[in-house]
Structure 1
Amino acid sequence: MAREWAWALALVVLWYGAAQGGIAYLFGVSPGVDAWLRDLGAHVLIGGVLFLMARSVMRFALAMVVLFSAFTLGNAMKLAVLGGPVMPDDFVAARNLFLLLDGWQFWASVAMLAVPGLALLWMFAWRMPRAWVALGSVVLAASAVSANPAPVSSWLDEQFGDWVWNQRGNYEMRGLPIHLVQEAARNLSRRQQAPEFGEVDDALRMVGATQPSAFFKAAAVPGAGAARNVHMIVLESFWDPVALKQAGFSADPIDPAFRKLWKATGNAHALSPVFGGYTANAEFEALCGFPVQIDAVFFEGGLRRDVPCLPRHLGEAGYRSVASHPNAAPFWNRINAYRRVGFEQYWSDRDFVLDDMNGEFLGDSSLYRQVLERLEPVLNTGQPVFNYVLTYFGHMEYPLNESRPQLITARTDNALVSAYANTVYYKSRELMAFLRVLRKRDPDAIIVLFGDHLPSLGWNHGGYAESGLLAPSRSEFSDEMFRTLVATPLIVIDGRHGPVRTGDLPLYALPGLILDLLGDERDSMLRFVARADDVLRVRPLPGLHFTLEGRKALRVCRSGEVQVGCEASSAWLEAVSVLSRDLFNGAQHALQLPEHLRGLQTVEVEMDEVSGAAVIEDAIDTMDNEV
């Protein structure tokens, strides 16, 4: 038996050396040198527990290699593409991957999830008591962490550190198993009571907000100015590639008409909460007026209540609100999320003729044409419309069909940079063609368009690092790089008045700006945390935030670090967090009259109870919608 144990643990050590060398060579990522010993120890410990469950050394070896390799490869790929390691929330969001991928990529992803599970079942010694004892010990340990996550999280932070704003740095100083356990304990420790009325009232005073009208109370239709249509176009991965100075493009990929229009706005930028993915977080901010401060998809776990976001607020004034996105309807929980924010209609892939496909993505020109055809009957009735369009064309790997030949060449060896430049060539021109039709058809409309996030241009920030725009790792970022990381083109058109000079604007400030342009002065939560004319603008990101004052002054405030000048913005963000938990996951005290006027006792609502019920409700609603 001792010989078998020696073989089993030696196999873990051999696998570890080969795997770490492999991901360092292929992806340019690996734990830091100081973490190798503790990371190897964690793998050996897990390997020992697995061997206790195994029928034989051979079965253990195969299952161990498959399981460890799947986690290590998946983590390395996420680090290289998006700049951060695997997090506990990624396991919840994994189902969305299957809605996006097709062909070999789909089956490879299925295999990455299914094969390790099958290998563990094949390995397990079903008739041996030691296997069940080992499994029971794992269950007990997980239960203990779940029951006491806060002290476990604090202890792990003391032992291994926590770099709040730099999750890649956390992985590098911990290794993958310790990182996952530490962040899982932190996630569990965040389960807390929804804010009580007093906390919410204090938070409202902190952000300078006034109480809005009671939720669902019929709002008086404002003046004629508010009857103007609103068109919001969210452009998948839309960014200006000319900033890549080392790419050596043969021509400017952006349509000159777009450049002219964008220049009229002062080359304004939207400041997104995400880089390279998680589009739903950019959507949430632009629709609900609150920032996302977590490294997770807010539509998936943070939005559990019906809320008066922009679609519902406009709906109370007689607008018809329609969301269009030619992707699978349930992706990022959009069926339920769109309903919760107030959309009356959601047109997804099954509602469009998929006649202009670039890989799996419907071309923008076809999407725009079909949306306008569907809206035409409503526009003819005179009922005001909130038309929300999220494009799909522009996803990595940036495929083009035969009708879109590659016209832009580049000197760089980075194939993604060249592919992306050609994608932007067509996206910008198809957008401008649509805008010409839309402005002629609806000259008084408010039109808002912006990129949801920057594109991914290769591992470890690839093309950006080549041109010096971003460093390969966040730990090496200058302050300006954090703004670069999230800044996409923003254009707001105020009907016949033309483009609006907004400056660089956090996405959560857009709903308030739209209400201002409409002349809609009704009380609204959409003005709780931001106004378009705010001098100081705050862009939260997971683990840090930066502030902008005017166009030049920028200050980056990193969580866990004492920095002069960050006290006010940090306190403001804490108040915003309280309001966000109350509105989207709690008792919604902020939408009610102050307690001394209500004369009613507030009801405490457990966050987990609200979330649990809503998860079940969302699952039922999703099945109903799919049927």
Structure 2
Amino acid sequence: MLVSVISFIAAAASIVLCIMECRRRSLDSDTQDSGGSILPLKRSSMVWVVLMVALQVFLGVWSALGLVQDDIVSALIVNAVITGAAFLSCARPRLYARVRAIAGPDGLWHHPQVACALATVLAGIFATLALEIPSNHNLLWMYPLCLLLEVVLVASAVAGMFYLAQRRAGLAALLSFAFFAIGIAEYFVVLFKSQPIQPGDLTAIATAAAVGGGYTFTLSCYCLYGMMFLALSWLTLAYAVVLAPEPSQRTRKSRLINLVVGALCLAFIVCHVTVIDYYNFLRIQVYTWRPLESYYRQGFLPSFISSAQTIQPRKPEGYTKDDAEELVEEYAASFDEGAGASEERTQAVDQFEGENPSVIVVMNETFSDLSIYQNLHAGYEGPENFQSISDALQTGQLYVSAYGGGTCNTEFEVLTGNSMAYLGNGVYPYTIYNLTHAENLAKQFSDLGYATTAMHPNHATNWNRENVYADFGFDNFLSIEDFEGSDTLRGMVTDEATYDKILELLNSGDDPQFIFDVTMQNHSGYTTGLLPMSMRTNYLIDGTYDAEVNEYLALIEESDRALGEFLNELENLDRPVVVVFFGDHQPFFPSDYNDEWFTNEDAATHSERLYQTEYVIWANYDVAGRAQESDEVDLSSNYLGAALMELIGAPMTDYQKAQMALRADMPAINSVGFQDAGGTWHLTESASDDPTAAPEVYAAALKARQDLAMMQYLKLFDHGDSVYTRTLQGAANETDPNLAPGTTQIK
């Protein structure tokens, strides 16, 4: 509350000082410019004052709501600077006249064009600080050239807007505010996901808004400092306006010069970011295993631009369509001659043709076993029911390409068998790429005569699912409207409610079904405090109770309980059912434990710990040729669909066969790195050389990685149509020529 009191007092002080200045101006009629004209108080001066005071009032209100860090020092500094900026904005005509008199005939202020340009550059510097400071607190850690590049980009944008508006500050001030807003957004995304804002996030703003209700948006002291720099940017723009001639004094030539200068500034930015290859030429690279560090070291804008330039999928080196098709055939033949010809696989195939079991795939929101972090120093043993499954076909660690968020990318990998490893950092295929041609499990089971249903108890528009599921060939999509009246937990539909819906579908007929369930119960944030007392846990991490961690662990216990009951229900069902259950990613907070408790290990192992969840493939009947003793096999999510089809004896595509054959040399791959046959992990960016690995094993893994890149590009992009989604192409769904034949329009 002290921050609130300080902010309101400072706002009052700003108003009082400006009123005093107004009175002084009305009495001080001797304040004149060099030509003898009186400098009246302009309305624009009051506009700047209103903007400054609005910042302080917002800060006071937000703090009164308990949403500002209780830091008295930062509150005093920030409010003092904003009050000073408000007063200086109001007093700028009088102060400018005095400065001109003091500077003399040769002073800088008697060269307004130069002084005006310097003022806009200074405004750009302050806008850069407003962008960076909220999330990137230590600018001394940034690479100097990257910081300079960011300042140049921001200052050019601010100056461009200023001059295009004929040296009026409205557009430039709005742009400065936009940079500040991006900085605040970056702060909250880092806080909630431990990941920076990536280009693909812009295509999923609606999804972020739809699931943002569980978060608490508390401003840190660094957010306040960002607000201070915004005020300073506005102040320098206010003085840049004073340096400009009055509209009545502007000539056609001066207006043309302003337009040319503004256009050149903006053209410089456009040319710079489109012509220069940030990744290869400037070496500004966002490392997939530590993107946040990349943003901190290189700055937000340079890192964001570098990521944006990689959204366009690049052909693998040496790629040709014929070579890629040949690779698929060779690997598929290898599988057919090996595992595909085994007695176990033959028995499973014969049984599947007669049984046609229903297949349930459950992607459980944020389900993971955090006991891998030294039991959280709290004696945490993980989800008990999941760990006690002893009759599964297969279980183990699942290496995914998402951390703290990005659910749709794990979903994409599982359904299509493609890996995010080749698609760049910050890419969300569901919202960016045209997936009408992508092979996927829904289409595969549909071709086998299965009824296919996708369900997600939230908005159908989240991650563009309503369109993607139609492209994939799902017959039906059950979204939030179909779960009206279902049980909720923290305002989210429970896992148990989705399982009840699955059982309802299974009991609706005898035909085999493929059901894909994307749960919602465990979605972040975890500071809601809305869990019933009976569900709450009391784990003490190093002796300290963390409400956020305990809310998450309580949700996992509830998911674990619901899973156990669901499998018991299926055990008693009189029809064959296969269940694939897995977590899409870890929550956002284990990175702190990973860095604090695991300090003496290689970078690849250290990073991959954050990108693993758990999976299980289970059946309520004895699958022929399979032991069903919960064999532990670690794999990556892009292989999970192929592994399912192999285990249950279902028909496999050549691409799936190729993947299973290729796993012999590269058992797992994700956006962070890849694993060789010896179990050693290697970071993606070190894929050209790693002296720590066994040479032959490493060479085989490298070849497998390159071969998979070729095959994936063939299957995902080499189809002759635009690689981008219809939304980005601007075409309507009904008239899209790329709509796959036979695709059913789903709700």
Q: Report TM bin, short chain.
A: 0.7 to 0.9
Residues 277 and 469 of structure 1: CA distance in aligned 2, closer, same or farther (over 3 Å) = farther
Deviation at 1:547, TM superposition (A): 0.9
Matches within 5 A, 1:474-493: 478-493=603-618
Q: What is the match of residue 56 of structure 2?
A: none
Residues 281 and 619 of structure 1: CA distance in aligned 2, closer, same or farther (over 3 Å) = farther
Secondary structure, counterpart of 2:564 in structure 1: helix
Q: What is the match of residue 438 of structure 1?
A: 570
Matches within 5 A, 1:283-432: 283-293=411-421, 294=423, 295=425, 296-378=427-509, 382-398=510-526, 399=528, 401=530, 403=532, 405-411=534-540, 412=544, 414-432=546-564
Secondary structure, counterpart of 1:275 in structure 2: coil
Tell whether the 8 Å contact from 1:306 to 1:342 is kept in structure 2 after alignment: no
Deviation at 1:285, TM superposition (A): 1.9
* Partner amino acid, structure 2, of 1:96: T
* Aligned residue among 297, 304, 328 for 1:204: 328
Matches within 5 A, 1:94-105: 94-102=205-213
Q: Does 1:176 align with 2:295?
A: no
Q: Does 1:23 align with 2:23?
A: no
Secondary structure, counterpart of 1:496 in structure 2: coil
* Partner amino acid, structure 1, of 2:396: A
Mean alpha-carbon deviation: is it higher for 447-456 or for 338-347?
Answer: 338-347
Instruction: Please list every run of 5 or more consecutive structure 1 residues that lacks an aligned counterpart in the other structure.
Output: 109-115, 213-219, 588-604
Secondary structure, counterpart of 2:588 in structure 1: coil
Residues 197 and 548 of structure 1: CA distance in aligned 2, closer, same or farther (over 3 Å) = closer
Tell whether the 8 Å contact from 2:415 to 2:442 is kept in structure 1 after alignment: yes
Tell whether the 8 Å contact from 2:130 to 2:183 is kept in structure 1 after alignment: no
Secondary structure, counterpart of 2:587 in structure 1: coil
Q: Does 1:616 align with 2:731?
A: yes
Structure with higher RCO (Cα < 8 A, 6+ apart): 1
Tell whether the 8 Å contact from 1:289 to 1:510 is kept in structure 2 after alignment: yes
Aligned residues: 573
Tell whether the 8 Å contact from 2:581 to 2:617 is kept in structure 1 after alignment: yes
Q: What is the match of residue 64 of structure 2?
A: none
Mean alpha-carbon deviation: is it higher for 577-586 or for 312-321?
Answer: 577-586
Distance 1:52 1:495 in 2: 71
Residues 302 and 28 of structure 1: CA distance in aligned 2, closer, same or farther (over 3 Å) = same
* Partner amino acid, structure 2, of 1:482: S
- After superposition, give the CA deviation of every residue in 1:74-119 in whole Å (9 maximum; x if it has no partner): 334444544443333222232322332349989x9xxxxxxx9xx9
RMSD, aligned CA: 4.4
Matches within 5 A, 1:220-259: 224-245=353-374, 247-249=376-378, 252=381, 254=383, 256-259=384-387
Residues 530 and 325 of structure 1: CA distance in aligned 2, closer, same or farther (over 3 Å) = same
* Aligned residue among 388, 393, 397 for 1:260: 388
Tell whether the 8 Å contact from 1:354 to 1:362 is kept in structure 2 after alignment: no
Residues 486 and 208 of structure 1: CA distance in aligned 2, closer, same or farther (over 3 Å) = same
Tell whether the 8 Å contact from 1:192 to 1:608 is kept in structure 2 after alignment: no
Distance 2:415 2:734 in 1: 23
Secondary structure, counterpart of 1:431 in structure 2: helix
Distance 2:496 2:640 in 1: 25
Deviation at 1:340, TM superposition (A): 2.3
Determine which structure has more spread, i.e. the larger CA radius of gyration: 2
Q: What is the match of residue 562 of structure 1?
A: 689
Distance 1:12 1:139 in 2: 14
Mean alpha-carbon deviation: is it higher for 310-319 or for 320-329?
Answer: 310-319
Tell whether the 8 Å contact from 1:225 to 1:519 is kept in structure 2 after alignment: no
TM-score by length of 1: 0.78
Deviation at 1:425, TM superposition (A): 1.6
Q: What is the match of residue 277 of structure 1?
A: 405
* Partner amino acid, structure 2, of 1:242: S
Residues 344 and 69 of structure 1: CA distance in aligned 2, closer, same or farther (over 3 Å) = same
Q: What is the match of residue 593 of structure 1?
A: none
Matches within 5 A, 1:538-577: 538-542=667-671, 544-549=672-677, 552-559=679-686, 561-564=688-691, 565=695, 566-577=698-709
Matches within 5 A, 1:84-95: 84-95=195-206
Deviation at 1:395, TM superposition (A): 0.8
Q: Does 1:159 align with 2:290?
A: no
Tell whether the 8 Å contact from 1:275 to 1:453 is kept in structure 2 after alignment: yes
Instruction: Please list every run of 5 or more consecutive structure 2 residues that lacks an aligned counterpart in the other structure.
Output: 1-111, 220-229, 337-348, 623-627
Residues 446 and 135 of structure 1: CA distance in aligned 2, closer, same or farther (over 3 Å) = farther
- After superposition, give the CA deviation of every residue in 1:223-268 in whole Å (9 maximum; x if it has no partner): 53451121111111001133344745476562x3332116977861
Tell whether the 8 Å contact from 2:164 to 2:263 is kept in structure 1 after alignment: no
Tell whether the 8 Å contact from 1:221 to 1:318 is kept in structure 2 after alignment: no
Distance 1:262 1:54 in 2: 70
Q: What is the match of residue 513 of structure 1?
A: 643
Residues 437 and 65 of structure 1: CA distance in aligned 2, closer, same or farther (over 3 Å) = same
Mean alpha-carbon deviation: is it higher for 401-410 or for 508-517?
Answer: 401-410
* Aligned residue among 123, 131, 138 for 1:11: 123
Distance 1:625 1:404 in 2: 44
- After superposition, give the CA deviation of every residue in 1:315-348 in whole Å (9 maximum; x if it has no partner): 2222111111111112112122222223211111
Tell whether the 8 Å contact from 1:273 to 1:282 is kept in structure 2 after alignment: yes
Q: What is the match of residue 50 of structure 2?
A: none
Distance 1:609 1:275 in 2: 24
Tell whether the 8 Å contact from 1:269 to 1:490 is kept in structure 2 after alignment: yes
Q: What is the match of residue 96 of structure 2?
A: none
Distance 2:531 2:677 in 1: 46
Residues 470 and 230 of structure 1: CA distance in aligned 2, closer, same or farther (over 3 Å) = farther
Q: What is the match of residue 711 of structure 2?
A: 579
- After superposition, give the CA deviation of every residue in 1:178-216 in whole Å (9 maximum; x if it has no partner): 33333334445849999764243244256456899xxxx
Secondary structure, counterpart of 1:438 in structure 2: helix
Residues 513 and 47 of structure 1: CA distance in aligned 2, closer, same or farther (over 3 Å) = same
Distance 1:416 1:28 in 2: 29
Matches within 5 A, 1:33-48: 35-48=146-159
Secondary structure, counterpart of 2:586 in structure 1: coil
Q: What is the match of residue 657 of structure 2?
A: 527
Residues 626 and 384 of structure 1: CA distance in aligned 2, closer, same or farther (over 3 Å) = closer
Tell whether the 8 Å contact from 1:265 to 1:501 is kept in structure 2 after alignment: yes
Tell whether the 8 Å contact from 1:262 to 1:268 is kept in structure 2 after alignment: no
Residues 487 and 158 of structure 1: CA distance in aligned 2, closer, same or farther (over 3 Å) = same
Tell whether the 8 Å contact from 1:29 to 1:76 is kept in structure 2 after alignment: no
* Partner amino acid, structure 1, of 2:731: I
Mean alpha-carbon deviation: is it higher for 44-53 or for 274-283?
Answer: 44-53
Mean alpha-carbon deviation: is it higher for 363-372 or for 195-204?
Answer: 195-204
Distance 1:575 1:38 in 2: 37
* Aligned residue among 453, 458, 482 for 2:585: 453
